[in-house]
Structure 1
Amino acid sequence: MKKTIVIFTNVERQCQRLNQAAHYLNEEKKICSECVSLFFNSETGYTELTEKTLLRSSIVFFLWQGAVYPTEFSNACKHFLQEKQKRFIMGSSTQPEVEAAHEVDAAALIQVSQYIFNSGTDNYRNLWLYLCTEYAGEKVSYLPPAAFPWMGTADFSSAAGKSFQNEIDKRASSEDKTAKRTSAVHDLITSVREEPASLDFRPLVGILFARENWIWQEVAYLKELIRALEAQGLRTLPVYCLWCDNIAENAPGLSRAVKKYFYKDGKCIVSAVVNTFKISLTLSSQNDKNFLKDLNVPVLQAYNLLRDYESWWESYTGMIPVELSCNVIQPEVDGVIHGGTVSYKDYDRDGIAWYAPLRERIEAFARKVKKWAVLSYLNNEDKRVAVIFHNYPPTNDSIGSAQGLDSPASVVLLLRAMQEAGYKMDSLPENGKELMERITAGFTNDRCFLTENQIEKAAGSVSDEEYKKWFIKQDPVVQKEMTVSWGEAPGTVFYYNETLLIPGISNGNIYIGMQPPRGFGEDPGKIIHDPACPPPHHYLAYYKWLRDTWKADAVIHVGTHGSLEWLPGKNAGLSGKCYPDVALGDLPDIYPYYVTIVGEGIQAKRRGSACLIGHLNPPTGQAEVYEDLAELEKLLDEYAQLKVQQPGSETVVQEKVLEKIAVMHLEEELPREDLPADDYILKVHTYVEKLKHMQIRTGLHVLGCPPAGDDLKEFLLVLTRVENGEIPSLPKIICSAFGQDYYKLEEKSGEILADGQTCARLLDRVWEICTEIVTYLTEQGLTAEAGNSLLVSELVQNLHLDAENTEKLKTVVTFITEELAPNLAKTKQEITNTLRALDGEFIEPGPGGAPTSGRADILPTGRNFYGVDPYNIPTPVAWEIGKLLADQAVNRFIKEEGHYPESIGMVIWSDSNMRSNGQDIAEFFYLMGVRPVWQRGSLRVKDLEVIPLKELKRPRIDVTARISGLFRDTMPSVVEMMEEAVNLVKGLDESYEENFIKKHVEQDAADLEKEGTDKETAYEQASWRIFGCPPGSYGAGVAHMIEGKNWETVHDLADVYVRWGAHVYGKNMQGSFSLQLFRKRLATIDITIKNTDNHEVHLLNSDDFNAYCGGMNAAVHSIRGKMPKCYIGDSADRAKAETRSLGEEIRRVFRGESMNPKYIQGMKKHGYKGASDLANLVAHAYGWDCTSGVLEDWMYEGFAKKLALDPEIRQWMNEVNPWALHRMAEKLLEAEQRGMWNALPETKDALRKLYMELEGELEERAE
């Protein structure tokens, strides 16, 4: 009987090469046994066929490259082989231990290992010969493993001339040691741009590639890459090596190869590194975790696609899930800059996969590498840097739009640091006010008050002829799309006197300008008819001017976020027809970005090749109480005390409390619902206490400025408010000292404790003690000594903590002094690392997320942040929170409506799921009655399983997801898993009353069949539940519609929402347009849900919340004729997630922050940008009212009287940003004119007068 030898491997090409070797040996009749290699990975299922293969084997090998091993499949195989007493060997590249069983000796393990790891055709042939001899009883001769170098430099010589090292030595011996960094090098770099082949001295670029590629000579793409780099005037040093050390073979890995070849005499000799390895370079424990940081040069990631060229080129999905994971997500943890695609998968005549060069992309990649490589060579005084403000909407009130950041003040500090570092400037603005005055006095994106005088001040221009000459060189697809959307080049946007004008100002070698308009304001019709339209010609001309005319060496996009990374195109691995690539080209993109908005930062990283510089969230603190709230709190305390101390005498105060509640319109937010007065007042007391201690913003962040003074104290209090992993919550420890639970005190604020004080007052005392602790530490210098001193101080001793809480307090204090304080002090590196990036240095990576939501490990900022691996979400913790949020939503609906909701619409974003590790996904699953199955050890989600109805204890709820374009791009594997959840439950043997998904799918399928759709297709289409933006596009359209004022009724907003969101996604669906089916799903929705996972960003901070969630409300209202319930799940405190209605959440933010003098005064400190954000606050609130009808008359009156018409605020805004005041008045008047606000006559008159005065003043100012 023929013997069988099986080798399982998770490396496809290794599998193919082993089979090829076995095939040739059989053809040559060298062996008689069946030798077969089989591919497996973490998703391979164990089947009956697997058992048959294992059963007939003489010996089985499992070879695994990478982490996350063993797999479920390999474990199942092992158990079967052990049971049947079969011989096997299991090994992993990251685990030195090799597992073997049943007559496999140590010598065999070593022999097999050497064949495999030495690799190559001869070794693979001799491996089979050896195995046939030892385990199949054949008598054939074989050679021992042939050794090849584990690492080395590869010679792809192209007559490069003298060696680079000789030239380094020659330069180093020169008497003028500074020549390398001054004029000589500048001349050389300049000549690189013109005559690269003429250089004798060029920057050296290290290239890292796999040893396997070298051994098998799979180097076609590398040769092409090296040719392209050398054509750009660069030298190359290609190094092959193993991904990590192989301990068993004593073989050095990647980090040791870098140290050997990229250093000379202890100094780095390369100016940049190109990495072609997939997965993270620092994932293995065998690699030095700091080797890239020590190397300190930009690392550009080159992608090797796992698909053929046509599949990549034609698809909007530049990366399928597995490509995204290994090429993009994992390398981001290393701090790489995304360079682009360099190869695609092809097959030779034997069916062996190889990487074919993608020449056009390689050329683009090489240009990008050159730009980054030369940064370390250029003198700072010669560098030309473009600083780009975002500007949405494209008007003068919003220049420098950036979430949570005082962008003008930040740029001034950045310019100051650049000037000190030697960058050439004509003058330095004294502050943000002066900078904005200079900018707004010139040519900007705002055409409302544009004059000839301002046009003449344009920073530059691109002539008709120049643009057309460039345009015809673009991909034919780009030319066609641009011409269809915007007419013949150069279009009409900002086209004056046969030129396209460039906004902004030049200041020596620094350009400061505004990103051009995206285009929807220039042609509002595109909002409805062409959501995936390209940007106008002017947009492309702007970046072309920066790159080719102004000769920028790098750009700095300031703050969160711009439009470049959201232009149409692939999700990653962009092509020459993707608009971010067309616009930006090869310019190094350095991007200070809000570290909390992690998903959108990842978008800039992947689609704009950005080097992110994560910046801190704005100053934050507790809301406290003010004005009416302060008076109400006093009355509530008085009422509670009288009720206990003088029963019966509290009635007078009770009346005052109820009167105050009415005056403050609290009954709209806290319905009495027939509660007795006492119970209702307790409810109000709890509400006030929660408002008092809610987290609010107290200003804006300034780049590179650590929190100081009171801001630092409040920051530390907020960071220690909730648990940080194993670090306990400070206020909960103090509550324990009083024998109380924090949440119970909060929920029972009006109740009297045994000592006679209310729970609210005790909670206040808890926060006072927390403040005293933080104050003590800050006043003592936040040192370890200060912490030790605190623990023996009278303040702590008086708490009489038990041993457990004493230890907890010590843990928190140590956390503050040894981690939080030092890391917050490092906020300065937001500026220094921006300059280091401009110097071509490596920016250390770090995680992204919300520091104040239990993620203080995000600190310090200033790092190149990364996101999460979608294969790991939802995590077990996120699953529990998602379940809780789902239960809260369902139970609240039952309480309000008296029955189960049948259909729920969820808005699902990448950002929040990256921060929360998939809480929304968990809620989506649990509502349907499906749960994740995690792989043991790695906790990767390997499967889904149905939750039995007996365990679920309710019907399965039908869920329609409106995902963002970013979620589609960053989490394609999760989208497929969501689709699988629907498929798991839609056909279960359950009644319609038990399974609403089944009910709706079958009913909709029947309707489709009646309309003429075949049965199979009808059932498939009726199952679609995941809808999103058009392929390659982003957004919901509603915000553009509202901002452009081109709508009349809620039906107009609904139409644009449906048009933008009616694209179906799933494993085999990549954005097919299905307008009627999306409308059908929306028509059934009972509840809409948009969750929040932190309090650094809320519903009034951005128009995206309203565009997606408010847009869904408007669509359901329009189609169904009834406004759905809208719930906001809040998991900022992971230990106590809670669900509120949309109205409750809007009013919570309105009372706690928007009208709070603490917030308003904090914004006043930030001049132009503070005024701009206040105007945006009003605009965003107005937007919610347009879609969801959530603002009451008294709230509009509050905005008008507290902001627009307040004499102090009005004067301040008029001084620092009159355009923002104009916008604020305009939005309020628009609300009144649309009948959304029944304004008091005197308020309306005052606003009209203000608006007219501002119109005149701004016209005069422009002239």
Structure 2
Amino acid sequence: MRILRAMHSAGYSVGNLPENGTALIHELIDRCAYDNTYLTAHQLTDAVGRVSAAQYATWFDEIPQQMQEKMVAQWGEPPGEAYVHEGQIALAGLEMGNTFVALQPPRGYGMDPDAIYHQPDLPPTHHYYALYRWLCDEWRADAIVHVGKHGTLEWLPGKGVGLSENCFPDALLADMPLFYPFIINDPGEGAQAKRRAHAVVVDHLTPPMTTADTYGALAQLTQLVDEYYQVEVLDPAKLPLLQQQIWALVKQTNLDADLRARLLHHDHEHDHDHDHDHDHEHDHEHDEALPDAFSSMGGADVAHLIEDLDGYLCELGAAQIRDGLHILGQSPENEQLVDMLVSLTRLPNQDIPGLQAEVARLFGLKIEMLLDNKGRRLNVVDDLARLAERPVVTRADALEAIDALCRKLFVELHVRSHHVSDIDDVLALVFSGLGVANRALLQPITVSRSSALSQGKMHRAKAGIVRAVSFKVEHKELSSGTEDRFAALRRILGFACSELVPNLARATDEIDNLLSGLAGGYVPAGPSGSPTRGMAHILPTGRNFYSVDPRSVPSQSAWRVGQQLANEVLTRHVRETGSYPESVAISIWGTSAMRTHGDDVAQILALLGVRPVWRQENRQLTGVEVISLDELKRPRIDVTTRISGFFRDAFPQLIDLIDDAVHAVIVLDEPLEQNFVRKHYLSELGEWIGKGLSEDDASRRAGYRIFGAKPGSYGAGILPLIQEKNWQTDADFAEAYVNWGGYAYARGEQGIDERDAFRTRLSGVQVALHNQDNREHDIFDSDDYLQFHGGMIATIRSLTGQQPRHYFGDSHDPERPQVRDLKEETLRVFRSRVVNPKWLASIQRHGYKGGLELTATVDYLFGYDATARVMDDWMYEQVASTYAMNPEMQHFLQESNPWAQNAIAERLLEAAKRGMWSKPEPQTLEALQELYLKSETLLEARGETPRGKA
């Protein structure tokens, strides 16, 4: 809607615009959409875009013969059957003056579910081609704007780069100018649109970020734990009662599952050597009135359990989550601006230090220590407690107090319109008594936080103009011996005021530059990446982003992160099993490689026991070198890599690099129990020779370690199965996963059909890995995680009969990467976002689109559970009560997106029917069935009677 309004202001004819985006999409769906369940003959007749069979036949004859044959073989003679009514192809859209708002047609897997298993290179339907040809030749568009990342045009079959006339994206789009608003943190998929659809990207901000905070019973538990630590010192006799209350609430909230995982994987053998820490002094015997989980523990174990609980609650509350969605061309303001600045400065940005660490340093604390075992107690934090106006007993308390002070800095700067000259005043106010300023100069500010934020006026800088940074000292005490103490904070706040605030204000460029491009103007170029991962310098948005020099991947910093991720995986596996894994599988994406400069690739090399080698003068890769076993001090781990289609296209040299590393290790004369790569190679070599292959062919097949999609195709094949409900067992997932991803890549070999070798490789895998490098999204925001990682887990389970260990790497803070079990990550995201009232309220601000986000979350939870088995019954119950049966949510969905309400109820009922939700409460199941029927009635009342029910 903001694009259409801006076009109207610029003089375009856009007709009578609907009130908002929800009204627009409702009008579009009511006119004609592509949901066959609720599509009526009247809507097909009333469609704005209609193409006669004769006209389409003429257009079809103009595409290359090779493409015609593929489309006819799959979809029949033109015009096919999809959305054809009375001899005409119906195209969903709204004509608004000189603009046409259309829905991109379905890809086609829903029309031929069996193709999901065997056709990753499924050609587009006749209907799909008809829309783009109609826009060009019949409606005579001058340009197309694709709104919303990850459309399907750029993923149609054809060459990865340098497309020819026989590639579907090129044939469908021809020379039509294409503009593509794209989120700045997704350089891979944006680059795909540029390479395969000649798109001009106009990037936009990530959604505004905020902290999850605790809520409901989690907030009650936080209060009880705080009370526990106070009683531990002041009145130990009350500890048994508090322990009982805590454990009861832990059971009520099902946090015992989270804690079991943390107790299993966290090491409590502390040496207590930090000046600020001390041991628990009050360990007591427990009587029979305590819960079994506590009564069976010694005092120290109970103390450590409380530590884990406190640390976990802190982690959940401090988690970065999205505060709704970004609105194109709209800058964050007030509370959202404050939270966004906190998020952007949390980590170091190039040579600008991280705010959280620098505030901790003021109190003599190291952020690394605080983030490790957050439940440990602290001493010597009186100033921190006084300034944060809260008790500080544990490391978790200290982190919360530090975060509160970080936020307070930006609240006060916001009130002062982010003037650099006010930084010292703000430091004096926030850190009163730390030698920042004369306390007599400090006057209390009585305005409330919300009032202050609403009154503060953001300084809007003109495009390209940045205010000069001034570090003028205003207070005498600052100019004395304490100046160096606050120098780092001045740099951080100066960077925020002089660069981040003006750059965030330039989100208006997102629409301004789009209109400039539509008018034939130049869209300036800019970098891409994850702004909250220490890359805030990539702002402002509104630019045609570029990605990374592939010759420098992995970078030296990525090598450091990759080594740590590899060590975390191995340490965790040894702790859980007592031994190293012999074989692991990892899925890696081109987008992540661009954002991180190759963390995943570096992890693979580290597991193999090789290191990258760079040219000193330009830091470009020259190859790899083997790390000796004496230096490595562990076995070499066999790694099977499932690359995405975009990774294949964007990083062919990294395929060669990984393959070189594998073969460098295979030929080493080392004990087989110290070189699992060579061990498995020799074993498989004998097997393939025994099956009749020549020694050369057997050697080549036994050496394959990199697999991906068939050349010219993309994806993992899992999502279409789930969307179309076309699966029954793990074997169905495995068939699709292997058929879509069983093509081998190596130096000099591009996409050899080696599905048997892929099955063999996965059959020996003990650990399935995937990594995430930022908190601007999570595993239930995208189908790619459940497809690539979940599909891998399901395939291994199908081939071996056993669930592999499934680890999930987290490098959102490159200084402190960590690895969790996938179930741990599921629980973390579930509690911090999925059922968090703060996120649920924020997403409801976005009407119809908010409903889509809710539906997607439920779909991806379901999909990851179907493939990786990560959900428990209580989680399904909570999703049902929050998303489906909550009266306020029901009202929101009925008004904004009744289709989402129907889909959510249907998906939850499917989980119960399939036994994934094994024992739903009878009243819950009955309520869901009633809601599903009610939502169908509501849709019918809109005049969208399902076919066959009229």
**TM-score, with structure 2 as normaliser:** 0.88
Whole-Å separation in 1 of the counterparts to 2:484 and 2:585: 45
Q: Is 1:553 paired with 2:142?
A: yes
Q: 1:1175: which partner in 2?
A: 855
SS of structure 2 residue aligned to 1:676? helix
Q: 1:694: which partner in 2?
A: 319
More moved, 665-674 vs 833-842: 665-674
Q: 2:932: which partner in 1?
A: 1251
Report if the CA contact (8 A) 1:826-1:860 is conserved: yes
Whole-Å separation in 1 of the counterparts to 2:782 and 2:13: 36
Q: Which of 715, 732, 739 is the matching residue for 2:357?
A: 732
Whole-Å separation in 1 of the counterparts to 2:580 and 2:394: 38
Whole-Å separation in 1 of the counterparts to 2:61 and 2:841: 53
Q: 1:783: which partner in 2?
A: 419
Q: Is 1:1186 paired with 2:866?
A: yes
Q: 2:403: which partner in 1?
A: 767
Q: Which amino acid aligns with 1:744?
A: M
Q: Which amino acid aligns with 1:1218?
A: P
Report if the CA contact (8 A) 2:211-2:318 is conserved: yes
Report if the CA contact (8 A) 1:689-1:760 is conserved: yes
Q: 2:389: which partner in 1?
A: none
Whole-Å separation in 1 of the counterparts to 2:190 and 2:550: 16
Q: 2:272: which partner in 1?
A: none
Whole-Å separation in 2 of the counterparts to 1:1054 and 1:658: 41
What is the CA distance between 1:800 and its match in structure 2?
A: 3.6
Q: Which of 721, 739, 748 is the matching residue for 1:1059?
A: 739
What is the CA distance between 1:460 and its match in structure 2?
A: 1.3
Q: 2:640: which partner in 1?
A: 960
Whole-Å separation in 2 of the counterparts to 1:820 and 1:1175: 34
Whole-Å separation in 2 of the counterparts to 1:698 and 1:899: 42
Render the CA deviation track for 1:923-946: whole Å, top value 9, x for unaligned.
000100111000012000111100
Q: Which amino acid aligns with 2:169?
A: P
More moved, 1156-1165 vs 478-487: 478-487
The structure with the larger Rg is 1
Q: Which amino acid aligns with 2:654?
A: V
Instruction: Describe how 1:921-960 pairs up with structure 2 within 5 A.
Output: 921-960=601-640
Q: 2:284: which partner in 1?
A: none
Q: 1:853: which partner in 2?
A: 533
Q: Which structure 1 segments of 5+ residues have no match?
A: 1-411
Q: 1:680: which partner in 2?
A: 305
Report if the CA contact (8 A) 1:640-1:750 is conserved: no
SS of structure 1 residue aligned to 2:236? coil
Instruction: Describe how 1:824-903 pairs up with structure 2 within 5 A.
Output: 824-903=504-583
What is the CA distance between 1:763 and its match in structure 2?
A: 2.1
Whole-Å separation in 2 of the counterparts to 1:1028 and 1:821: 42
Q: Which amino acid aligns with 2:29?
A: T
Whole-Å separation in 2 of the counterparts to 1:795 and 1:1173: 38
Instruction: Describe how 1:956-1105 pairs up with structure 2 within 5 A.
Output: 956-1105=636-785
What is the CA distance between 1:797 and its match in structure 2?
A: 4.4
SS of structure 1 residue aligned to 2:942? helix
Structure (1/2) with the larger strand percentage: 1
Q: Is 1:618 paired with 2:299?
A: no
Whole-Å separation in 1 of the counterparts to 2:746 and 2:921: 51
Instruction: Describe how 1:22-421 pairs up with structure 2 within 5 A.
Output: 412-421=1-10
Q: Which amino acid aligns with 2:922?
A: P
Q: Is 1:589 paired with 2:178?
A: yes
SS of structure 2 residue aligned to 1:1129? strand
What is the CA distance between 1:828 and its match in structure 2?
A: 0.6
Q: Is 1:629 paired with 2:265?
A: no
Q: 1:435: which partner in 2?
A: 24
Q: 1:569: which partner in 2?
A: 158
Q: 2:430: which partner in 1?
A: 795
Report if the CA contact (8 A) 2:645-2:713 is conserved: yes
Whole-Å separation in 1 of the counterparts to 2:133 and 2:434: 65
Q: 1:533: which partner in 2?
A: 122
Render the CA deviation track for 1:619-676: whole Å, top value 9, x for unaligned.
1111111001101101111111111222343121111112221222222122145771
Q: Is 1:706 paired with 2:331?
A: yes
What is the CA distance between 1:747 and its match in structure 2?
A: 3.1
Q: Which of 822, 834, 856 is the matching residue for 1:1142?
A: 822
Q: 1:43: which partner in 2?
A: none
What is the CA distance between 1:607 and its match in structure 2?
A: 0.5
Q: Percent identity?
A: 41
Render the CA deviation track for 1:1178-1232: whole Å, top value 9, x for unaligned.
1100001100110000110111001111000011111000000111101100000
Whole-Å separation in 2 of the counterparts to 1:456 and 1:481: 29
What is the CA distance between 1:748 and its match in structure 2?
A: 4.1
Report if the CA contact (8 A) 1:736-1:805 is conserved: no
What is the CA distance between 1:790 and its match in structure 2?
A: 2.5
What is the CA distance between 1:598 and its match in structure 2?
A: 1.2
What is the CA distance between 1:586 and its match in structure 2?
A: 1.1
Report if the CA contact (8 A) 2:74-2:123 is conserved: yes
SS of structure 2 residue aligned to 1:702? coil
Instruction: Describe how 1:638-657 pairs up with structure 2 within 5 A.
Output: 638-657=227-246
Instruction: Describe how 1:1089-1168 pairs up with structure 2 within 5 A.
Output: 1089-1168=769-848
Q: 2:479: which partner in 1?
A: none
Q: Is 1:460 paired with 2:49?
A: yes
Report if the CA contact (8 A) 2:45-2:90 is conserved: no
**TM-score, with structure 1 as normaliser:** 0.67
What is the CA distance between 1:788 and its match in structure 2?
A: 4.5
Q: Which amino acid aligns with 1:743?
A: E
Whole-Å separation in 2 of the counterparts to 1:546 and 1:439: 17
Report if the CA contact (8 A) 1:450-1:1262 is conserved: no
Whole-Å separation in 1 of the counterparts to 2:200 and 2:943: 37
What is the CA distance between 1:803 and its match in structure 2?
A: 4.0
SS of structure 1 residue aligned to 2:46? coil
Whole-Å separation in 1 of the counterparts to 2:425 and 2:16: 49
SS of structure 1 residue aligned to 2:616? coil
Q: Which of 252, 255, 271 is the matching residue for 1:663?
A: 252
Report if the CA contact (8 A) 2:45-2:85 is conserved: no
What is the CA distance between 1:764 and its match in structure 2?
A: 1.9
What is the CA distance between 1:1258 and its match in structure 2?
A: 1.0
Report if the CA contact (8 A) 1:719-1:851 is conserved: yes
Render the CA deviation track for 1:934-960: whole Å, top value 9, x for unaligned.
001200011110000111111000000
Report if the CA contact (8 A) 1:849-1:855 is conserved: yes
More moved, 764-773 vs 820-829: 764-773
Q: Is 1:758 paired with 2:394?
A: yes
Q: 1:103: which partner in 2?
A: none
Q: Is 1:906 paired with 2:541?
A: no
Alpha-carbon distance change, 787 to 567 in structure 1, aligned in 2, over 3 angstroms: same
Q: 1:1228: which partner in 2?
A: 908
Q: Which amino acid aligns with 1:1168?
A: Y
Whole-Å separation in 2 of the counterparts to 1:679 and 1:852: 32
Q: Is 1:719 paired with 2:344?
A: yes
Q: Which amino acid aligns with 2:702?
A: A
Whole-Å separation in 2 of the counterparts to 1:1201 and 1:538: 40
- Residues matched between the structures, number: 851
Render the CA deviation track for 1:494-537: whole Å, top value 9, x for unaligned.
11111111111101111001001111111111101211111111
Whole-Å separation in 2 of the counterparts to 1:1157 and 1:798: 37
Whole-Å separation in 1 of the counterparts to 2:706 and 2:586: 10
Q: 2:40: which partner in 1?
A: 451
Render the CA deviation track for 1:986-1006: whole Å, top value 9, x for unaligned.
010011101000011111010
Report if the CA contact (8 A) 2:7-2:14 is conserved: no
SS of structure 2 residue aligned to 1:1140? strand
SS of structure 2 residue aligned to 1:660? helix
Whole-Å separation in 1 of the counterparts to 2:575 and 2:252: 28
Whole-Å separation in 2 of the counterparts to 1:928 and 1:854: 29
Report if the CA contact (8 A) 2:709-2:743 is conserved: yes
Whole-Å separation in 2 of the counterparts to 1:665 and 1:507: 52
Render the CA deviation track for 1:160-212: whole Å, top value 9, x for unaligned.
xxxxxxxxxxxxxxxxxxxxxxxxxxxxxxxxxxxxxxxxxxxxxxxxxxxxx
Whole-Å separation in 2 of the counterparts to 1:436 and 1:1007: 58
Q: Which amino acid aligns with 1:687?
A: Y
Report if the CA contact (8 A) 1:637-1:758 is conserved: no
SS of structure 2 residue aligned to 1:1109? helix
